[in-house]
């Protein structure tokens, strides 16, 4: 019975998404809209379908470069990093280029030669770098992604999904360096030539709050676009694959998100959630606070459907140290768990001395 109910709920959600998506008149073969902070999926269609993703590949390349590289490194350009097919920043053999300039060239100009130069600098070979990309994808849950190169030129085994690209982008946004690069309309590097890059992502100019991310196009992939925008402290990430009207599609997706959802603070880090009884402590109760912030996008009619459940022991033995994990809080939306966080001790509670405990026992006996 429970499995049948879950299936019905999922079916209703899928049908609801299809109805909304149809009303938006989107051209993409596959798409997804998520809220960045929580990762909540707000709208999707065939988002787990494996597809070619062209230069949106470079989001992962930039992420690995920022994680594994030094942005101040000076990269010596070898023969295997020049004359790469497609978009280019026109690197020359023997040229010395800063890593930060290569990443800007990668993201704004979509330089395929930049991608290869980054890969060869960070790893022993392009193949080793691609292994890092695939390891990172699996680590963050992008299970339907497989990279064969750092730039996105066609290969039959090079693919991702709209869902996975949203996860990769969400991970990249954890780094302020990526935010700065992705949000840059123009950039002037320290090279003597080909040093002025204009971002090809029109989202930054055309969409209110637009702050990223990456375009991609090949004959085999069609038009692919990852866009982001932030309004009222809520960032949305829209991904469309094989979308002839790529920018309009993503703008419609983000319009839907901003028009229908707001970001709510369910609880803040260190916010008092509950109290618990303490056994043999100098205080009878301990305050339990949330370990992390939890913000979540909700429709107006969902606000009253959010419920919190606290799971703690009825009695906790002293001594207790500030920060000790003493339980957890689960957040439900319409009966489904959307979040689980630890509850921690707000302060220390020392154990009573032996003499105090002895006197307490005596009082208990004679009362």
pLDDT above 80: residue 22: no
Judge if 175 and 255 occupy the same domain.
Answer: yes
pLDDT above 70: residue 7: no
| Number of domains within the chain | 2
Is 21 contained in some domain? no
Judge if 122 and 154 occupy the same domain.
Answer: yes
Judge if 307 and 232 occupy the same domain.
Answer: no
Q: What is the pLDDT of residue 207?
A: 98
How far apart, in whole angstroms, are the C-alpha atoms of residue 163 and residue 41? 9
Judge if 117 and 73 occupy the same domain.
Answer: yes
Q: What is the pLDDT of residue 358?
A: 59
Residue 332, domain CATH: 2.60.410.10
Q: CB neighbours of 286 closer than 8 A, spacing ≥ 6? A: 275, 276, 278, 316, 320, 326, 345, 346, 347, 349
Is 239 contained in some domain? yes
Residue 80, domain CATH: 3.40.710.10
Catalytic residue positions, numbered: 55, 58, 110
Judge if 253 and 198 occupy the same domain.
Answer: yes
Judge if 227 and 330 occupy the same domain.
Answer: no
Q: What is the pLDDT of residue 124?
A: 86
Is 303 contained in some domain? yes
Judge if 291 and 314 occupy the same domain.
Answer: yes
Q: Which domain holds residue 271?
A: 266-354
pTM: 0.90
Is 3 contained in some domain? no
pLDDT above 90: residue 5: no
Judge if 323 and 220 occupy the same domain.
Answer: no
In which band, very low, low, confident or very high, does the pLDDT at 2 lie, cut at 50, 70 and 90?
A: very low
Q: What is the pLDDT of residue 352?
A: 73
Judge if 247 and 281 occupy the same domain.
Answer: no
Is 203 contained in some domain? yes
Is 182 contained in some domain? yes
Judge if 246 and 270 occupy the same domain.
Answer: no
Helices (H), 69-198: 99-107, 112-122, 126-139, 162-172, 176-182
pLDDT tens for each residue of 243-295:
999 999 999 999 999 999 999 999 999 999 999 999 988 999 999 999 999 99
pLDDT tens for each residue of 153-179:
999 999 999 999 999 999 999 999 999
Sign of the alpha-carbon dihedral angle for 177, 181, 187, 189? positive
In which band, very low, low, confident or very high, does the pLDDT at 15 lie, cut at 50, 70 and 90?
A: low
Judge if 197 and 289 occupy the same domain.
Answer: no
Q: CB neighbours of 1 closer than 8 A, spacing ≥ 6? A: none
Residue range 185-195: mean pLDDT, rounded: 93
- Boundary (domain end) residue, out of 260, 294, 324: 260
pLDDT above 70: residue 6: no
In which band, very low, low, confident or very high, does the pLDDT at 192 lie, cut at 50, 70 and 90?
A: confident
In which band, very low, low, confident or very high, does the pLDDT at 4 lie, cut at 50, 70 and 90?
A: very low
Residue range 183-203: mean pLDDT, rounded: 95
pLDDT tens for each residue of 104-137:
999 999 999 999 999 999 998 999 999 999 999 9
Judge if 346 and 323 occupy the same domain.
Answer: yes
Contact 26, 45 (CB under 8 A): yes
How far apart, in whole angstroms, are the C-alpha atoms of residue 327 and residue 312? 5
């Amino acid at each position: 019975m429970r499995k049948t109910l879950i299936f019905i709920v999922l079916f209703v959600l899928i049908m609801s998404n299809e109805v909304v998506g149809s009303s938006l008149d989107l051209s993409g073969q596959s798409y997804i809209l998520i809220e960045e902070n929580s990762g909540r999926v707000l709208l999707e269609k065939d988002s787990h379908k494996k597809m070619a993703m062209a230069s949106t590949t470079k989001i992962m390349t930039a992420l690995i470069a920022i994680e594994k590289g030094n942005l101040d490194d000076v990269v010596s350009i070898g023969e295997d990093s020049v004359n790469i097919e497609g978009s280019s920043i026109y690197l020359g053999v023997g040229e010395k280029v800063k890593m930060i300039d290569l990443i800007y060239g990668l993201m704004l100009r979509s330089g395929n030669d930049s991608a290869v130069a980054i890969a060869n600098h960070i790893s022993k070979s392009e193949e080793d770098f691609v292994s890092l990309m695939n390891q990172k994808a699996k680590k963050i849950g992008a299970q339907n992604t497989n990279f064969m190169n750092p730039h996105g030129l066609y290969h039959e085994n090079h693919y991702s999904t709209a869902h996975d690209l949203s996860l990769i982008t969400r991970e990249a946004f954890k780094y302020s360096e990526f935010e700065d690069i992705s949000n840059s309309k123009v950039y002037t590097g320290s090279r003597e030539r080909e040093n002025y890059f204009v971002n090809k992502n029109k989202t930054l100019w055309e969409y209110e709050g637009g702050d990223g991310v990456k375009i991609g196009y090949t004959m085999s992939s069609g038009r692919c676009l990852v866009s982001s925008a932030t309004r009222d402290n809520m960032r949305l990430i829209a991904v469309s694959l094989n979308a002839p009207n790529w920018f309009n599609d993503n703008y419609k997706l983000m319009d839907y998100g901003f028009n229908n959802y707001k970001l709510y603070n369910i609880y803040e880090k260190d916010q008092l959630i509950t109290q618990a009884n303490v056994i043999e402590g100098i205080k009878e109760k301990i305050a339990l606070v949330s370990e992390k912030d939890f913000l979540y996008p909700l429709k107006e009619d969902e606000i009253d459907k959010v419920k919190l459940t606290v799971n703690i022991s009825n009695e906790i033995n002293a001594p207790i140290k500030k920060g000790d994990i003493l339980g957890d809080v689960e957040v439900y939306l319409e009966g489904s768990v959307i979040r689980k966080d630890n509850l921690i001790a707000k302060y220390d509670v020392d154990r009573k001395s032996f003499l105090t405990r002895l006197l307490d026992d005596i009082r208990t006996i004679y009362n």
